[in-house]
């Protein structure tokens, strides 16, 4: 069972190399004092809120606004998973308390979960049609679904033995680029963003189903909360890589344009450096002096209050708090 290492720190020296587990532990250290008592479903609503803001920014092609939203989504996802682990006696129906890295690796061990290939081939056949294939009876349909899941579990187990689990945050982005980079080049920004929002909605549906089963309002069945969390992370990477690809295409266009005009090299505009995911997260939460701090209250341990002193970075050094932040980050 995952236990966040609250001594873990993301600093200016290690943000580029820190593991996904270290990032998750650092976010729990930053927001755990609040999130221990913050209802899981309320955290889900915050994830939904930032996800819709991201979708709006991508729809408007406001990529400068989209980039800062991705780290916030990542932080909510990390702490939702950490909360289930830390308070597993309360949330054991959602899973046995795995880390985010284990949840993602259990579905995406350097392969596409659906087709089983290291480079996704799903575009060659209608995955949705296969999933919805109709048999002669509900029993036959359920049997077909279970057979498909058994095959997928076997392929995943084999892939976990044959591949090395990524460590650093950017290694995970590279893994998803290798798996889905080819097929995602044929998808529009709308398709990627809609699929990301679909998976966020699936997480919410799993939480609602868990509540209904606990209340006896629906028959008990295995929940797929962890699988849906993995899908949200996967499609978050897809949206990030789309924005990164947009910057890369802009660089190509600028270079071609300047060469076409025969502009001397010393007068050419420079290339925009392509951001790494860890760099985007650090830009949102990082401070060169103290490491991670809340992007809103600027404290190293968020307590949902703010102060009139913009330089305050630690709760122990605060003057009297002036305003109470509502129950959201």
* Digit-coded pLDDT (tens) for 224-277: 999 999 999 999 999 999 998 877 666 666 666 666 767 777 666 666 678 899
Q: What is the pLDDT of residue 222?
A: 86
Domain identity same for 185 and 273? yes
The whole-number average pLDDT for the span 9-20 is 96
pLDDT, tens digit (0-9, with 9 covering 90-100), for 143-199: 777 788 888 889 999 999 999 999 999 999 999 999 999 999 889 999 999 999 999
Helix axes 277-285, 169-184, angle to 10 degrees: 130
Q: What is the largest CA-CA distance in the chain?
A: 73
Q: What is the pLDDT of residue 126?
A: 56
CA–CA gap between residue 28 and residue 49 (Å, rounded): 20
Nearest of 302, 17, 297, 20 to residue 5 by alpha carbon: 20
In a domain, 119, yes or no: no
CA–CA gap between residue 16 and residue 320 (Å, rounded): 35
The gap from C-alpha 254 to its chain's centroid, in whole angstroms, comes to 31
DSSP structural state of residue 274: P
Domain identity same for 299 and 241? no
Q: What is the pLDDT of residue 134?
A: 53
CA–CA gap between residue 26 and residue 74 (Å, rounded): 12
In terms of DSSP bridges, do strands 305-306 and 291-292 run parallel, antiparallel, or are they unpaired? unpaired
Q: Which helix (H) or strand (E) holds 287?
A: strand 286-287
In a domain, 142, yes or no: no
Q: What is the pLDDT of residue 304?
A: 72
Q: What is the pLDDT of residue 249?
A: 66
Domain identity same for 246 and 313? no
In a domain, 134, yes or no: no
List, in order, residues 6 or more apart from 141 with CB less than 8 Å away. Answer: 133, 134, 135
The H-assigned helical ranges of the chain are 20-35, 40-59, 63-86, 88-91, 100-105, 127-131, 138-162, 169-184, 189-214, 225-260, 277-285
In a domain, 318, yes or no: yes
Residue 6 near residue 300, CB atoms below 8 Å = no
Domain region containing 253: 20-110+164-292
In a domain, 260, yes or no: yes
In a domain, 179, yes or no: yes
- Evaluate if residue 327 carries a pLDDT over 50: no
CA–CA gap between residue 185 and residue 144 (Å, rounded): 31
Domain identity same for 262 and 312? no
In a domain, 175, yes or no: yes
Domain identity same for 304 and 208? no
Domain identity same for 283 and 210? yes
Domain identity same for 211 and 270? yes
Domain count for the chain, please give it.
Answer: 2
Q: What is the pLDDT of residue 152?
A: 86
Domain identity same for 322 and 180? no
Domain identity same for 185 and 307? no
Instruction: Give the pLDDT band (50/70/90) at residue 325.
Output: very low
- Evaluate if residue 74 carries a pLDDT over 50: yes
Q: Which helix (H) or strand (E) holds 324?
A: strand 323-324
In a domain, 267, yes or no: yes
Residue with tokens 């089963």: 213
Domain identity same for 227 and 253? yes
The gap from C-alpha 213 to its chain's centroid, in whole angstroms, comes to 27
Q: What is the pLDDT of residue 324?
A: 47
- Evaluate if residue 317 carries a pLDDT over 80: no
Domain identity same for 226 and 308? no
Domain identity same for 168 and 92? yes
């Amino acid at each position: 069972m995952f236990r966040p290492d609250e001594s873990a720190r993301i600093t200016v020296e290690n943000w580029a190399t820190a593991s996904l587990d270290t990032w998750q532990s650092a976010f729990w250290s930053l927001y755990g004092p609040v999130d221990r008592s913050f209802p899981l479903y309320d955290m889900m609503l915050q994830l939904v809120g930032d996800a819709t803001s991201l979708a709006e920014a991508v729809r408007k092609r406001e990529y400068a606004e989209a980039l800062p939203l991705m780290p916030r989504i990542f932080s909510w996802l990390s702490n939702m998973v950490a909360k289930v682990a830390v308070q597993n006696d309360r949330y054991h129906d959602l899973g046995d308390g795995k880390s985010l890295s284990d949840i993602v690796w259990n579905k995406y061990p350097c392969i596409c979960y659906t087709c089983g290939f290291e480079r996704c081939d799903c575009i060659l056949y209608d995955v949705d049609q296969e999933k919805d294939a109709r048999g002669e009876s509900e029993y036959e349909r359920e049997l077909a679904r279970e057979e498909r899941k058994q095959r997928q579990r076997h392929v995943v187990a084999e892939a976990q033995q044959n591949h090395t689990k990524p460590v650093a945050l950017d290694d995970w982005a590279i893994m998803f680029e290798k798996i889905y980079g080819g097929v995602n080049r044929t998808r529009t920004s709308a398709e990627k963003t809609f699929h990301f929002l679909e998976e966020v909605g699936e997480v919410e549906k799993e939480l609602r189903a868990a509540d209904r089963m606990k209340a006896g309002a629906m028959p008990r069945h295995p929940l797929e909360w962890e699988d849906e969390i993995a899908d949200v992370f996967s499609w978050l990477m897809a949206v990030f890589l789309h924005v990164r690809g947009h910057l890369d295409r802009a660089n190509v266009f600028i270079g071609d344009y300047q060469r076409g005009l025969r502009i001397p090299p010393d007068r050419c505009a420079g290339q925009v450096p392509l951001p790494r995911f860890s760099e985007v997260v650090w830009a949102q939460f990082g401070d060169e002096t103290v490491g991670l701090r809340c992007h809103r209250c600027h404290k190293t341990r968020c307590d949902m209050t703010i102060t009139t002193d913009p330089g305050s970075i630690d709760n122990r050094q605060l003057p009297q708090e002036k305003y109470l932040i509502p129950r959201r980050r």
